Chains A and B, each alone.
Chain A
Amino acid sequence: AQTVTQSQPEMSVQEAETVTLSCTYDTSESDYYLFWYKQPPSRQMILVIRQEAYKQQNATENRFSVNFQKAAKSFSLKISDSQLGDAAMYFCAYTGANSKLTFGKGITLSVRP
């Protein structure tokens, strides 16, 4: 079974600075997707970024980018130029051949003005 681990329960960043959120996963599959979801206080689940395992290039979406290390099974999210609106809970997630989405426990990110 696949597992996703987010070992840091909380992080804090100064506004306009850069922060990196860590995620590791375990799988025996070679083809899969990885995601980062954002959950603000409104509790809506918002897709931030996705990465296909067979694509070596790291995904980017504006201020958000990932560092995907397939051999190490690591998938970290970098948020550049942090904004107050980035404060939220962030979940790392995995899906593969069975379409089941497996989540990490999440990390609460706070942004200091």
Chain B
Amino acid sequence: NAGVTQTPKFQVLKTGQSMTLQCAQDMNHEYMSWYRQDPGMGLRLIHYSVGAGITDQGEVPNGYNVSRSTTEDFPLRLLSAAPSQTSVYFCASSRTSGGKGTEAFFGQGTRLTVV
């Protein structure tokens, strides 16, 4: 039972480079999301998806793209990395119950440094 698998764990990018953070879940959850964690800011929602083919923006979407072609996968793309995107990134998935979301299961996180 893998849960949520997120790769890589660490990454260093140069300003202007692009990359994709991978996220996969094997729990058949409808809802998947990406967060960034910065000191003193908690976790802030970047993008989310309520099912395959459906994505939407969260609180801090600028500079990031997502797609959801399958229920299992939800990659996050950094288009042109900037130092302001230095952060820890988390992928999460959850199911819905009784018309509302339930607890989220998280990947192990990616520490990204943009130099």
Contacts and interface: CB of A to CB of B under 8 A. Distances in A.
B94 A44 contact: no
A32 B100 contact: yes
B55 interface: no
Contacts of A43: 88, 108-109, 111
Interface in B27-84: 30-31, 33, 35, 40-45, 48, 50, 58
B40 A101 contact: no
A50 B45 contact: no
Given A31-B99, A44-B106, A44-B109, A100 B43 contact: no
Given A43-B108, A50-B103, A99-B50, A31 B31 contact: no
Interface in A43-93: 43-45, 47, 50, 91, 93
B104 A105 contact: no
Given A31-B98, A43-B109, A103 B42 contact: yes
Interface of A: 6, 9, 31-33, 35, 43-45, 47, 50, 91, 93, 95-106
25 contacts: A31-B100, A33-B101, A35-B103, A44-B108, A45-B106, A91-B43, A93-B104, A95-B94, A95-B101, A95-B102, A96-B100, A96-B101, A97-B99, A97-B100, A98-B101, A99-B30, A99-B48, A100-B45, A100-B58, A101-B33, A101-B101, A101-B104, A102-B45, A105-B40, A106-B42
